[in-house]
Amino acid sequence: MDRYNGSIREIIRASFLSTFYYKTKEGGYRPTWRFWRWLSVIVINIAFFISYHVDVQLLEGTMNGSRLLGFHLIDLFTAIETWTATHAIHTNMIIGSATILVFYLLVGGKSFCAWACPYGILSEIGEHIHQKLVSKRVIKERKWNPNIRFAFWAVFLGVTFIDGFLVFEIINPIGILSRFIVYGWSLAIVWVLVILLFEIFYSRRMWCKYICPVGTTYNLLGWVSATKVQWDMDKCDHCGACLDACFENHVIEFVKPKYDKERKEKGKTKQIVINGDCTLCGRCFDVCHTDAYNYTFRLKDLV
């Protein structure tokens, strides 16, 4: 992808493979953030696979619950589900969930979705196809209020409380895919493909945006987490490429020129993406031809 010399249309409509690298101003090639994220997801999931098949105690288990070099890690929503179902709090679960809690408070709540979730990369492929179909007017975009996620979150936990069973795990594509990667084929994988088809033909990133309670839990951390995306108004020319690339683009609504006057009056030209829906995926960095985005660590003044 040639984000510095290509037209905005060429950047937005770049082929999927070309979004893994970009041409620098000096004419060389560098990996994009998408490349590093995919590498992160692939390495994590290969570590699960190797630990099970070669019997090394590297990263044992699945995305729901695991042991990293023998140290317990538990996905936060899985921990909440388990507590809701069993009404019991075990020491290992406290250690595992507290570790994950602190980790994502530091690196960014929803960074889980972009940097670790195996369904996330499938969903990105689906999103690319979806965007192509929308631009060719084969299908139309459908949007709902993303706050519907909180209703799903409460319903899944409510049913778990009544049933005493981790109901959501039957349909959780993250757990299904993770078990598929580690333990092999199961018919449940068909359900993951059904979700993906809905995301391709019905609504962009539908599962992640409107349903997934795992992402919703990380959203809550995201609002207060330390690592954030920062945007610089002085660099931005309002081309809109980042708004097109970001599937949670309500979090960067502020790049629109209508907010410039207010910002200038306040003398505030840099803005942090506060909204917990930002996955720190770096897609906005990858398409921005003025390098208006960067990561910032809000605790840096303390360390």
Task: Please give the Cα distance from 81 to 92 (Å, whole number).
Answer: 15
Q: Which is nearer to ligand SF4, 122 or 246 (CB)?
A: 246
Is residue 263 near ligand SF4 by the rule CB under 6 A? Answer: no
Is residue 12 near ligand SF4 by the rule CB under 6 A? Answer: no
Tokens representing 124 are 């990105």
Q: Which is nearer to ligand SF4, 48 or 285 (CB)?
A: 285
Query: Strand 65-68 to strand 59-61: parallel, antiparallel, or no bridges (unpaired)?
Result: antiparallel
**Burial of 130 per CB tally in 10 Å (0-12, 13-18, 19+):** buried
Q: Which of 174, 176, 177, 252 binds ligand SF4 (CB under 6 A)?
A: 252
Is residue 273 near ligand SF4 by the rule CB under 6 A? Answer: yes
Stretch that binds ligand SF4, among 94-102, 120-128, 138-146, 247-255 (CB under 6 A): 247-255
Stretch that binds ligand SF4, among 98-106, 180-188, 189-197, 272-280 (CB under 6 A): 272-280
* CA nearest neighbour of 215 among 125, 111, 123, 118: 111
Please say whether the dihedral angle defined by the alpha carbons of residues 165, 110, 113 and 136, taken in this order, is positive or negative.
positive
Task: Please give the Cα distance from 172 to 153 (Å, whole number).
Answer: 12
Task: Please give the Cα distance from 9 to 276 (Å, whole number).
Answer: 29
Is residue 132 near ligand SF4 by the rule CB under 6 A? Answer: no
Task: Assess contact for 238 and 256: CB atoms under 8 A.
Answer: yes
Site for ligand SF4 in 215-234 (CB under 6 A): 229, 231
* CA nearest neighbour of 283 among 121, 43, 109: 121
Q: Which is nearer to ligand SF4, 92 or 135 (CB)?
A: 135
Task: Please give the Cα distance from 117 to 173 (Å, whole number).
Answer: 10
Q: Which of 49, 58, 101, 240 binds ligand SF4 (CB under 6 A)?
A: 240
Q: Which is nearer to ligand SF4, 108 or 173 (CB)?
A: 108
Is residue 128 near ligand SF4 by the rule CB under 6 A? Answer: no
Tokens representing 219 are 């959203």
Is residue 282 near ligand SF4 by the rule CB under 6 A? Answer: yes
Is residue 248 near ligand SF4 by the rule CB under 6 A? Answer: yes
The residue count for binding ligand SF4 (CB under 6 A) is 27
Contact footprint for ligand SF4 (CB under 6 A): 229, 231, 236-242, 245-246, 248, 251-252, 255, 273, 278-284, 287-288, 290, 292
